[in-house]
Amino acid sequence: MKNKTLKVNHELEPIYNHNSKILILGSIPSPKSREYGFYYAHPQNKFWKVLSSILNKEIENNTESKISFLLDNKIALWDVISSCNIVGAQDTSIKNVKVNDIDKIINNSNVKIIFTTGKKADELYMRYCYPKTKIKSIYLPSTSPANCANYSLEQLIEKYKIILDYLK
């Protein structure tokens, strides 16, 4: 089952409101995130630790607290892909991409900047979404366990601090 290509449909709702100033886009929820029904749910994913650290605020480990944290800090969160074929959580295996309607967030918020988490999210955003949104993305390294060998928690925190410049 691990090496099998699956057709995956994105079933998580975007997190945003009219006050959101930045949008963070991943590629597509991992198998663990789909299992738990929320973004960056793999216990070894550093996404929530990084955001907690750069904003200097604790985040309880439950969906409601994470949603409140994002909205209170004017952060929108979603993914580029609405459906694709993928092997496990391997972004490099992604094929047959359909993208989410990112304009849904742009048109109903104050988002002026987009951050992409990981190379695949950045590549797909620039190929499929940028021509429509005309908002360039700022690439951030993936916080996934697969990227742990490339970036320590401290290095990720340093890279993600750029977000603060856009939340003022």
Judge residue 18's burial from the number of C-beta atoms within 10 Å of its C-beta, 0-12 exposed, 13-18 middle, 19 or more buried. exposed
Q: For the CA atoms of 48, 53, 56, 60, what is the dihedral angle to 10 degrees?
A: 30
Active site includes 45? yes
- Given the residues 3, 9, 17, 45, select the one marked as catalytic: 45
Q: How far, CA to CA in Å, does 141 sit from each of 7, 13, 35, 50, 98?
A: 25, 23, 23, 11, 23
Give first-to-last CA distance, the chain, whole Å. Answer: 46
Judge residue 134's burial from the number of C-beta atoms within 10 Å of its C-beta, 0-12 exposed, 13-18 middle, 19 or more buried. exposed
Per the CB < 8 A criterion, the answer to whether 64 and 58 are in contact is no
Per the CB < 8 A criterion, the answer to whether 13 and 77 are in contact is no
Residues with catalytic annotation? 45
